[in-house]
Structure 1
Amino acid sequence: MIFITGGVRSGKSTFAEQMAAQRAKELGGRLHYLATGAPSDEEMSKRIMRHQQKRSESEFMWRTWEQPRHIERLASSFSKKDVVLLDCVTTLLNNELFFLNQEWEEEFLREVFERLLDGIGVLQANCAELVLVSNEVLNEPLGTNELVLKYSFMLGNLHQELVKRADRAYLVESGIPILVKGGRG
């Protein structure tokens, strides 16, 4: 598993796509794009359409899966030679947290956290390489809003656990990938 994070417009998705395509070529497997965005408003719908258009015009042959929740349901669609790029963990977390419109009590947050880790684990077990993209949103002041604080702590813990499980982890700054864990670049 490869974990890639960075700020908004940092170049993390472009880097992740290139890395996934390179790994698929090396392994002789298919290339899958697991998109977690859900068209929640007009702006998000346009963003999803831009991403879909970009992938269709790409030099890489992507098989795209639109799966805003329950990513584990796709695991049987992949083989042990395939490379799966999941973009992005932050959006997936948002979707899981807000879908049920439930109070963010400790038990609910723990269930969401475990469900995400389990889903990612199932994907990882069913493909050759899983590339995860996430947003680095914890570098800014968090303020005092309880919801923002809970979300931030959960995302931070999720990132820590995913990096622990990853073979390699990158932070992308201004289009430059910085290897923060792992032996080869």
Structure 2
Amino acid sequence: MNSRDLTFVLGGARSGKSAYAERLAASNARPVTYIATARIAADDDEFAQRVEQHRARRPEHWQLIEADADLAGALRGADGDDRCILIDCLTLWLAGLICPPDGAALSGDACAARLNAFEAALAEARGKVIVVSNEIGLGVVPLGAQTRHYVDELGRLNQRIAALSTQVTLMVAGLPMIVKPSSAPK
């Protein structure tokens, strides 16, 4: 089942995916809720600066929700026929589930339940939803079991969200490439 209006924006690091998703959200007539998924470790000043750059770019009138592990709950709480919801990004949300800054990772079953709940919330969403994620599976197979596990899980999650989406855009060097809808067989 497809969400009425679900756009999935993928790309590599610094590909322009967040800025593009923000332009999509700003171009619609609906009020925007920005759901941020980043959790900043207390000693990570560089990452805090990245988050601040995102904050500075967003219009002040956008509502902000800082989601925790319950991204499905954040989405459901913000959803409505007259809303636009921008979720940025699945990459950081999944990292927070698998490798949280506090070290209290969810069990495999609990993590799967969070992923399933988020997918269900997207399928039921009534408003316009824009989801951002990194495409990290284009390189070599990473060294280390934990890194391979993360890359595999993000790849599977991206596939699930792309299947639900009415539009998928891949950002390459700041340029949007429409991947879906396409005429390719399913």
Q: Please indicate the TM-score interval, normalised by the length of the shorter structure.
A: 0.7 to 0.9
Could you tell me which runs of 5 or more consecutive residues in structure 1 were left unpaired when the two chains were aligned: none
Per the TM alignment, residue 109 of structure 1 is displaced from its structure 2 partner at its CA by 3.2
Q: Is 1:17 aligned with 2:16?
A: no
CA distance in 2, matches of 1:137, 1:6: 8
Identify the residue that residue 71 of structure 2 maps to in structure 1. 71
CA distance in 1, matches of 2:24, 2:18: 10
**Aligned pairs for 1:32-181 within 5 A:** 32-40=33-41, 41-56=44-59, 61-74=61-74, 75-99=76-100, 101=103, 108-122=107-121, 125-181=124-180
Per the TM alignment, residue 68 of structure 1 is displaced from its structure 2 partner at its CA by 3.6
Could you tell me which runs of 5 or more consecutive residues in structure 2 were left unpaired when the two chains were aligned: 1-5
Identify the residue that residue 3 of structure 2 maps to in structure 1. none
Structure 2 counterpart of 1:89, one-letter code: L
Judging changes above 3 Å, is the alpha-carbon distance between structure 1 residues 103 and 11 closer, same or farther for their aligned structure 2 residues? closer
Per the TM alignment, residue 124 of structure 1 is displaced from its structure 2 partner at its CA by 5.4
Q: Is the contact between residue 84 and residue 129 of structure 1 (CA under 8 Å) also seen in structure 2?
A: yes
Normalising by structure 2, we get a TM-score of: 0.83
Per the TM alignment, residue 98 of structure 1 is displaced from its structure 2 partner at its CA by 2.0
Give the fraction of aligned pairs with identical amino acids, expressed as a percent. 26
**Dislocated runs of 4+, deviation >4 Å:** none
CA distance in 2, matches of 1:171, 1:39: 26
CA distance in 1, matches of 2:105, 2:130: 31
Structure 1 counterpart of 2:7, one-letter code: I
Task: Tell me the number of residue pairs that the alignment of Structure 1 and Structure 2 aligns.
Answer: 173
> Aligned to 1:138, what secondary structure does the other structure show?
coil
Normalising by structure 1, we get a TM-score of: 0.83
Q: Which moved more, 1:166-175 or 1:46-55?
A: 46-55
CA distance in 2, matches of 1:65, 1:80: 18
Q: Say which structure is richer in helix.
A: 1
